[in-house]
Amino acid sequence: MNESERKSESNIVLALDSVPSGSKNLLSKGLEILRRVHPYICAVKLNRHFLLPLGLYDGVKRIVEEAHSLNLPVIMDCKINDIGYTNRVIAENYFNAGFDAVTANPFVGWEDGLQPVFEVAEKMNRGVILLVYMSHRASWEGYGQTIYDSETGEKKLQYIAFAEKALAWKADGAVVGGTYPEKIREVYEILKEKVPIYSPGIGVQGGEVKAAVLSGARYLIIGRAITLAERPEEAAKFYRDAAKPHGDLVSS
């Protein structure tokens, strides 16, 4: 990611999850958008929007290969969240299909939970990005709840505990919704530069570039604001430039 960010001079991760309604061929439209916006992004993120209709080793693999041909790493936003054996198999399949990183949910814990995912990732030289605080309105119900830390005997917020796990487990990234800049700021105080923050929810969900970046987000995950734009390449360029230190931070 560091190398891709440096070469593209961009910290924008394209969430290639939705294409304009009425598109007859999901794969061809996805590839078209990717080719048009690639100069302005540093990575691609895929979710189940493409996986379910196109298949992991068919259409999705073609998107991954196209992204790699454009020197872009690809993240599978699968939110791994099961028992260890299942998690290991899930991670192996995504990595074998070419994905460079996966997202995972720390709710399942380490032992017989996410430990196998980290082991597979290390063996295959891939990454694991942990969910710390999501971007939707109900995030507080789970990630914002107050918990009891049995190790310290203290009460703390769930997302603070998850940020601490991201650091302890040496995660390759932490997801914190761009719709909650105050949460980004709190998590950044824990992670500093050791674990980069990825912030989704910029644009359509209401997250703002300036607030997210100034709060500590390293990468901005942007989907519909780019993919559903009439000219996605112009939208991608706008967000790339807006995220720069002296960029135009007022959305048009």
Per-residue pLDDT tens digits for 231-247: 999 999 999 999 986 45
Rounded to the nearest 5°, which phi and psi values hold at 124? -100, 5
Active-site position among 24, 29, 61, 79: 79
Task: Determine the pLDDT at residue 92.
Answer: 98
Domains by residue range for the chain, with CATH: 2-242 (3.20.20.70)
Task: Determine the pLDDT at residue 18.
Answer: 84
Task: Determine the pLDDT at residue 151.
Answer: 80
Q: The tokens of 47 are what?
A: 């979710």
Per-residue pLDDT tens digits for 101-124: 999 999 999 999 999 999 999 999
Q: Which of 1, 107, 89, 105 is nearest to 45 (CA)?
A: 1
Is 7 a catalytic site residue? no
The residue type of 47 is N
Task: Determine the pLDDT at residue 142.
Answer: 87
Confidence (pTM): 0.93
Q: 119: number of CA atoms within 13 Å, CB side?
A: 12
DSSP state of 207: B
Grouping H, G, I as helix, E, B as strand and the rest as coil, residue 59 is: helix
What residue ranges of the chain have pLDDT lower than 70? Answer: 21-23, 245-252
In this structure, are residues 92 and 126 in contact, taking their beta carbons and an 8 Å threshold? no
